[in-house]
Amino acid sequence: QETQLNMADLGAPRAEPEPDNRSVYIYDCRPESRESSEREIEISGKDFTQFLQAVRKVGELANGKTLHLLQSVDQELTKATQERINYLPHYHTIVQSGQYEYYASEGQKALPYAFAELIDNALSATSRNPGVRRIDIRLLFDESQGGPAVVVMDNGRGMTSKELNNWAVYRLSKFNRENSTFQSDHSGYVRPTPVPRSLNSDISYFGVGGKQAVFYIGQSVRIISKPVGSPDVHEFVMSKEDFERKEKNKEEIYSGIIRNRKPGDCSHVKVDEERFLQSLILEEEGKDSFTAIVINRIQPEHVTYLRNDFILWTRELAHIYHYYVHGIHGNDLKNEKKADSPSNIDIQICLLERSPRLPKLINLREIDKDMQTLYINSSVAEFEFKASKGSDARVEGLIRYHPFLYDKETYPEDPYNSTPENDDDDCFIFQAEGRGKRPIFECFWNGRLIPYSSVNEFEWCAKPKKMCTVPLECYNRISGVLFANDCFQVSTNKLTFMDLELQLRDKETIFTREQRVKISREFTIWLKECHERFDKQVCFIGYHGTTTRTDV
């Protein structure tokens, strides 16, 4: 944006008397200039303002730009100058934001974690619903209806047009919104009142999740939302194509249009292109409030994956939201404590294809092969504890016991990692049954799983170095869960905790149970009890020889 008007000779003071007609030559060296030769400008009798007016005729001067009058192109500046620049983030900031955020570990499929961001938002939006909280994920893969598209819909509080505007602002979060009372350094932020297992539905943090998810899944998004109390629906489209067009036409990149319209009014939809959109809009009528995120131009490999690995990724979602969907006690199929606190959260997934015509429909609550369901239902006892540090940092934890029954360990296999590691070459495994070398704890943040962080063990529940009263293999029969609140930080893609384990290992972190007792002693007693009450292990000792009994 630096612009140089190269003046061949700009009226430098001369000794000789001035001639009647003085003029200078001007080269327009601004990048956008198309003139190749110099222009002569008469300057006799002109003051600087008049001179500028003359320059103006050479070419329009844009608002806010800086120009330099130079005598030769490579001359030194006679004094320091300042020039105004603009450095708006490129639109790839939004469009490619998710591309690498969800890279995950090599080869792992990250799509469930992108969906999770949209579910997070829906959970947050429905948190104050008096009745059922409905979250609908629809995969519209019928091309004759204008697919493939992905719709995530919730019956939450919706967004006003101001809030919809804010949705679109990258990195605008609850901490730095205009009307937020807390500073951007989170000072003044009041945490929601603690609830059991931090199931507070307050899973918004960075102001990026929705955008990253949407542009990881596809290349265009339409958000349709009706806030409570408003008679109108607000609609906003953001797409890669749109950005590219605006860039090409030198229009303002981050400027867009919100459409305000009546519910059910689909007069703006091109009939032949997006049929599904029409029926979606027709559904609006009669709804008090809702938000629908409609993603278009889905990456083809995502369509393949979502279709072919339906079981896999829905199971991963059931894993992430296990405690939101099943309530604080989780999916206890023996149903002992479940009825105390039923969940009103319905997360439903629907896959619509051209053929088969029958939609595939599943409610996350029906899934019973996710890891937490397996852990809960193969365990026979729970050991609860709390950890705290400072005033606000809270972790609830529990350890479950998976007994040895008759002829085998009941510690569940991980269905994701069905191929056991081929360790045979290098070592003989003795007590690696049960949990094996897996970490003890899965970790949840504000109630939802952070999939790539786990905590191996704590000192007080680790296999002791010296002999003890409990057989060592019992330490391999425990699994655990940690529920942290958002005092513990997670990465922007919500795949890992920043330093949960480190923080918990800190000397100032205190582990407690109901009463203030020594947790390591308590744990050992509990483990011993579990072993004695639940393990049904037959042990043959003193082998003498084999006797073959002939049939009578």
Ligand X SMILES: Nc1ncnc2c1ncn2[C@@H]1O[C@H](COP(=O)(O)OP(=O)(O)OP(=O)(O)O)[C@@H](O)[C@H]1O
Spacing of C-alpha 139 from chain mean position: 19
Q: Which is nearer to a second copy, 90 or 369 (CB)?
A: 90
| The token pair that represents 15 in the structure block | 């000794």
Please name the residue that has the structure tokens 């489209």.
237
Binding of a second copy by 416 (CB under 8 A): no
Q: Which is nearer to a second copy, 48 or 428 (CB)?
A: 428
Phi, psi of 63 (to 5 degrees): -60, 130
Q: How far apart are CA 467 and CA 462, in angstroms?
A: 13
Phi, psi of 316 (to 5 degrees): -65, -40
Give min distance, CB of 241 to Mg ion, in A: 24
Binding of ligand X by 173 (CB under 6 A): yes
Binding of ligand X by 156 (CB under 6 A): yes
Contact criterion met (CB below 8 Å) for 68 and 5: yes
Binding of a second copy by 552 (CB under 8 A): no
Instruction: Identify residues 267-296 at the interface with ligand X (CB under 6 A).
Output: 291
Give min distance, CB of 98 to a second copy, in A: 11
**Binding site partner of 255, from ligand X, a second copy, Mg ion, none, Cβ cut-off 5-8 A by kind:** a second copy
Among 7, 41, 94, 125, binds ligand X (CB under 6 A): 125
Instruction: Identify residues 180-239 at the interface with a second copy (CB under 8 A).
Output: 184, 206-207, 229-232, 236
Closest residue to Mg ion: CB criterion: 209
Q: Which is nearer to Mg ion, 116 or 470 (CB)?
A: 116
Using alpha carbons, select from 514, 524, 406 the residue that is nearest to residue 459: 524
Phi, psi of 302 (to 5 degrees): -70, -40
Compute CA distances 207 → 72, 171, 211, 470, 476, whole Å. Answer: 49, 4, 8, 49, 41
Spacing of C-alpha 187 from chain mean position: 23
Give min distance, CB of 46 to a second copy, in A: 27
Instruction: Identify residues 153-182 at the interface with a second copy (CB under 8 A).
Output: 160-162, 164-165, 168-173, 176
Q: Which is nearer to a second copy, 368 or 499 (CB)?
A: 499
Binding of a second copy by 89 (CB under 8 A): yes
Burial 366-395 (b: 16+ CB within 10 A, else e): ebeebbbbbbbbbbebebebebbbeeebbb
Which residues, 6+ apart, have CB-to-CB distance to 464 below 8 Å?
none
Using alpha carbons, select from 11, 42, 6 the residue that is nearest to residue 27: 6
Give min distance, CB of 123 to Mg ion, in A: 9
Give min distance, CB of 134 to a second copy, in A: 25
Instruction: Identify residues 108-167 at the interface with Mg ion (CB under 5 A).
Output: 120-121
Binding of a second copy by 491 (CB under 8 A): yes
Q: How far apart are CA 491 and CA 190, in angstroms?
A: 21
By the criterion CB under 6 A, which residues form the site for ligand X? 117, 120-122, 125, 154, 156, 158-159, 163, 167, 173-174, 204-211, 291
